[in-house]
Chain A
């Protein structure tokens, strides 16, 4: 395909003179955050490191949901099903076969993808409230299966006795090592979703989200694109579930339940749907309020989350990512006023 980007370069980059430095500048915050995350275990206590790891796991799950909600325009209520499938699969494989980290992550992602492929084929053919109901039903079915298939999932007691994850044959028992493993997979998963979002497929998904009939008029088959997005999101949710099993070493039906999916949706809305990085911040707020603040609030964590959600809807309708948009707009305006004599 002749690319318009190539055309721009060929024309001397009328506006492209600053493009490369601008891209590098935009990458600086990501690199700084990554360095800080890598260094975190050196300065944080083991409990804080574990909480940070949980944030990364939940963030990866939330970002996978953002591919559906924010990029594709498919608000799923049952996305926790694929997180749960990945978590149970990784847990069972770790107990029965091997606890090698790479294997666990791969089988969890594969399980999530297969589950999403099986259910998404029907779900993405619907839209609006029907899509909500279908995904909710899928989530409830998986939740019920986790509670009733005692011999496989451990029922309501959950799947416990998951051995420590191994990397290259070495068991990772210290919180910091497990955290680094989680961080490495998170970075790979996030990068994969970011590349999908920035790829031609991502452009088509955004087009479908904003005006599906118009995309059809260009010759696109929305079903195929939505289905691909659904399966990719399911695969990454499965990977996140696998990481959860690796980190917590206990998987219960709650992980596949509605509450988990709803919290991920909350993270996406808090962070700003469609930005991918915004839901990472949203996930941080959710996990911190639920896991870190919750115990000190005598079980009122969900209440605080509810208040945060209401405030965010009123004050930040585009989430944390919207703040960056406002900041960029202010900078553009200042730059424009400087150019104007």
Chain B
């Protein structure tokens, strides 16, 4: 489904991604780990077209999306749940969902009813402004917004960022629910427990490259790998 080859990108005077190679098959969930500053968010933003690639290729189902605008990438079937949620504070939950649903109408199985089944909490907040929601609710709204575009691939950038442990568990349940529905996911995470709970495979980034990849059970079973690559016990 997703094929990334030799992807390089960065910001004005610095190259962050130093040649990322990545494959992700249909319906699979890849957890992408790494310390701060290794390029995880830059990779998500480059895949989405928010940061311009300077070299390499990005293909989705064989279609070249390298250097395309974010709206083109989105229409090709990629959605992002950004770090920090980035919801529109003045808009209500209803307006958020309608905005996203208009783009995804007739393109797949996700409609508002189905999304609210997965995220019932949002159904109780339909008339609230997004700025009035808790962090967890905003994260759910960001997930709903992505799902309603009926994407082929969802990029999630640190969905546990800034959330209390109980809320992280709830978000984990939602991600597991998405996985059960066959959504293909690239989940960037710093929370190992969440990544282990949802991912089929774990990849680790260092200095703008993916340096390690293996099935999640294998990664969990060998604590020396996590210690060596991530500095955790």
Contact = CB atoms under 8 A, between A and B. Distances in A.
Interface in B61-111: 69-71, 73-75, 79-80, 82, 86, 88-91, 94-95, 97-105, 111
Contact of A216 (B71, B89, B116): B71
B217 interface: no
A213 interface: yes
Interface range on chain A (Cβ under 8 Å from partner)? 20 to 34
Contacts of A213: 50, 70
Contacts of A210: 88-91
B86 A4 contact: no
B141 interface: no
B74 A4 contact: no
Interface stretch (B11-19, B33-41, B121-129, B183-191): B121-129
Contacts of B48: 217
Contacts of A218: 71, 74, 79, 99-100, 103, 145, 149
A259 interface: no
Interface stretch (A46-54, A99-107, A177-185, A198-206): A198-206
Interface in B152-182: none
A327 interface: no
Contact of A206 (B88, B100, B105, B113): B88
Nearest to B116: A7
A151 interface: no
B79 A217 contact: yes
B112 A7 contact: yes
A1 B126 CA distance: 17
Contacts of A5: 94
B155 to A, nearest CB: 9
Most chain A CB neighbours (cut-off 10 Å) among B75, B126, B127 = B126
Interface stretch (A8-16, A74-82, A109-117, A282-290): A8-16
B70 A4 contact: no
Given A217-B50, A219-B75, A206 B123 contact: no
Interface of B: 48-50, 69-71, 73-75, 79-80, 82, 86, 88-91, 94-95, 97-105, 111-113, 116, 123-124, 126-127, 145, 149
22 contacts: A4-B94, A4-B97, A11-B123, A200-B102, A203-B95, A204-B102, A206-B90, A210-B89, A211-B86, A211-B88, A213-B50, A214-B88, A215-B99, A216-B49, A216-B50, A216-B70, A216-B71, A217-B71, A217-B74, A218-B99, A219-B74, A219-B103
